[in-house]
A and B are shown apart, each in its own frame.
Chain A
Amino acid sequence: MDIYRFNEKMYKSIFICTIVLLSNYISFAQESNYNYDEEKDIYKVISNVTIETEQGNQKLSTIYETSPTILVLIYTRCYGICNPLISNLSEQIQQLDIKKDFRVLVVSFDAADRLSDMERYAQQFDLQNDARWIFVTTKQIKPLIESVNFNPKWDSTIQQFDHNALLVGLNTNGYITKKIIGIRGSNELQAMLKEINNEFIVSYPLPRKNMLFSCFTYNPTTGKSELSIGLLVMLAPALITFIIVLSLIKLGKKQRKTLVK
């Protein structure tokens, strides 16, 4: 069987091609920098610990139930990421000039921090009189940081914690709705604010200049959307198939004629 000889050759070459392709891909495999840790504990309720505030002890829920909350975990002795994290966040909030109702709750994860340390820390950023910002400590650090999957490690040689810069977005039911790890752009912060306010976030690009085929276009003079060229793309498959079938019919007729002859 001729065809089977052709067959074996073909299988061999395909097999070799595949191996080469695969090994290439594997050796050039770069991992992407997507951070899965941001997805851990999403849509879980945060541990409702007791926090120590200037007004005395209260439950964490009394904060997030009154308005959506961004929780920030820091410690005042930090030489590392904590200061830039707070100053960056307060700058972004000022620049965005947000009308939304929300609060920033800064909690120390260092058992050595006292409420007075936190007050001093707030002054350092000129946030002590900003009603949006609350600086607190807690005796229940462990359940709190466990429930948001935050794992600081004490390094005794440099006498510092090794830890992430973590923002945790809480809605008014105490659900962790978004996390941001590291200092990031203001669009991420805006997404977090929408998320903790239970607003819809479009995850797709809106119509813009380089979008050549869209299904609808918005006409600013009439204020209505109009059918657009993208819908023609939807008709293309049927049209192309029609042309294919027409040519096959022609071909079939021709072959039948030659058969008759």
Chain B
Amino acid sequence: MTTLSLKKTTSAWIITILVLFIIAISFGITMRFNQGRDINLNPDTFYSIMTVHGVTMIGIWSCAGMMAVNYLLSRYVKTSVKLNVFAYAFTVVGVLMIWASTLIGKFHAGWTFLYPLPFRVAWAKWGTPLFLWGLTLLAVVWLVWAIGMVAQILRNYSLSESLAFQHLSRTKTPAKETPPFILISFVSLIGIIICLVTAAILMALLFAEYYSNGGFVNDPLLVKNLTYFFGHTIANEALYLGLATLYEIMPEVSGRPKFKTTWYVALGWQLSLFFILTAFFHHLYMDFVQPISFQIIGQMASYLASIPSAVVTVLSVIFLVFGNKIKWNIVNGLFFLGVTGWIIGGIGALIDATISNNIVLHNTLWVPAHFHTYNAMGNVLFSLAFFFWVGNEFVDSKDYSKFNKLLLALLIIGGFGFVIMFYIGGANSIPRRYSVYPKELNLGDILATLGGAFASVYLLAILWIFIDLMKKCIKVFSSAR
């Protein structure tokens, strides 16, 4: 049952996420224009902006996934609005702390804050603790939130039902059905819990060093492993949460019967729980001190991780879309486009996760190229689709027909144009995270300017969406029912 207070909280999330998104995109465009030498920022300003852009983006789209799942979960199980409000309020505080540390304190160690960078203070001294405490707050709050949602699922479904084990048999029809939405949410939330626990451990280690005055020091390799286990996993699980909403809403708005949990859907998502956790080994290719087996695991798991979720989802979406008369609208249009962006970004990721290529592509613009594709043109679109869908719920309308082709065109041209410039840069060995490129790499300049221009088109589309959604979101707060 979705209550009015759940709608209000969801509406507050959407407004906040979109406002932060617009600011974070503006930071992104600013970076691109600086790299293109169209404007001239101090390096410390550039890196502060880069840091706040990265954390904000990862943060808001993880939240978007969690709050969408929270909303839809209330169709199947009893959910707690208090928990949702708690998560919202402290997320705002956490974000303010991080923004203060980066924009006022000029903390700029990158969103990965890779050890020992946070302790090589090149900013206001309070920047490091404020940034780390802000992240800790977010990690703990989201951990509580995710645990709460898993608890709510486990109250209605046993563990094996939550994982849809009863659907594995191809002959028997199970007594109790597990909807794909429950399965995928459950698997993703478990992944989120694992990576947030990792974040908590990581923060504990960093604080131990920070407050012990040299009594305790960290092993850079261990901290790196923990950091990327956390970073890689949260970025991927956020996308899986978006897929959960896709499975739930896309058939509904297309006028088709709901997706069923078939044996291959069940198997695919069960496997992905495991592979997504091992795929992070591809972040260890350059750590030559580690055993060769880590590298082999990294490459194999990266390939295997993509098969279950991607193949199963693409098949499901293809069955839905082709051969049926589909009513296209903004919601399923965004979902469809999002799947396309996710697959393209995924292929880009696999190319980079192949060891022989990684030697060339490591830390080039290829990296932001692939993750911006499956984020800006993938996960973000899943969440925007949910926003449009839920916006209609806010105003009690089932009319999605206002389907604006120009809006989608702006998104496609702006979004893909923006990432293509990253891909070309990466293929030409332009490094990532340079505030300006040395003159030997001046191809990077022109690509950056073009990328910034395309991103501005993308921003235009987002502003349009923002204005459209704001009307519906604000209405919820004035409705009395």
Contact = CB atoms under 8 A, between A and B. Distances in A.
B395 to A, nearest CB: 19
Contacts of A4: 5, 8
Nearest to A4: B5
Interface stretch (B195-203, B341-349, B366-374, B409-417): B195-203
B194 A237 contact: yes
B197 A234 contact: no
State the majority secondary structure of interface residues on B. Answer: helix
A4 B11 CA distance: 13
B218 A211 contact: yes
Interface string A54-87: 0000000000000000000000000000000000
A236 B198 CA distance: 8
Interface of A: 1, 3-4, 6-7, 10-11, 14, 17-18, 21-22, 25-26, 28-32, 34, 36, 39, 43-44, 203-205, 207-208, 210-216, 225, 230, 233-234, 236-238, 240-241, 244-245, 248-249, 251-252, 255-256
Contacts of B210: none
Contact of A237 (B92, B126, B197): B197
Nearest to B193: A241
B98 to A, nearest CB: 12
A255 B151 CA distance: 11
Given A14-B89, A25-B130, A203-B116, A213 B205 contact: yes
A14 B220 CA distance: 36
Interface in B186-242: 190, 193-195, 197-198, 201, 205, 214-222, 225-226, 229
B476 to A, nearest CB: 12
Contacts of B360: none
Contacts of B194: 237-238, 241
B193 A244 contact: yes
State the majority secondary structure of interface residues on A. Answer: helix
In the complex, the 4 A-B pairs of residues with the closest C-beta atoms, listed nearest first: A214-B219, A252-B154, A34-B122, A204-B220
B304 interface: no
A215 B159 contact: no
Contacts of A237: 194-195, 197-198, 201, 229
A39 B43 contact: yes
A21 B105 CA distance: 13
A32 B123 contact: yes
Given A225-B289, A236-B201, A241-B193, A251 B222 contact: no
Contacts of B214: 210
Contacts of B229: 234, 237
A6 B88 CA distance: 13
B436 to A, nearest CB: 11
28 contacts: A1-B4, A4-B8, A18-B93, A30-B126, A32-B121, A32-B124, A32-B125, A34-B121, A36-B122, A205-B217, A205-B218, A212-B216, A214-B219, A215-B290, A216-B289, A225-B289, A230-B219, A233-B205, A234-B222, A237-B201, A238-B194, A240-B197, A244-B147, A245-B190, A248-B150, A248-B151, A252-B151, A255-B155
B222 A233 contact: yes
B124 A34 contact: no
Contacts of A17: 93
Contact of A3 (B82, B115, B201, B289): B82
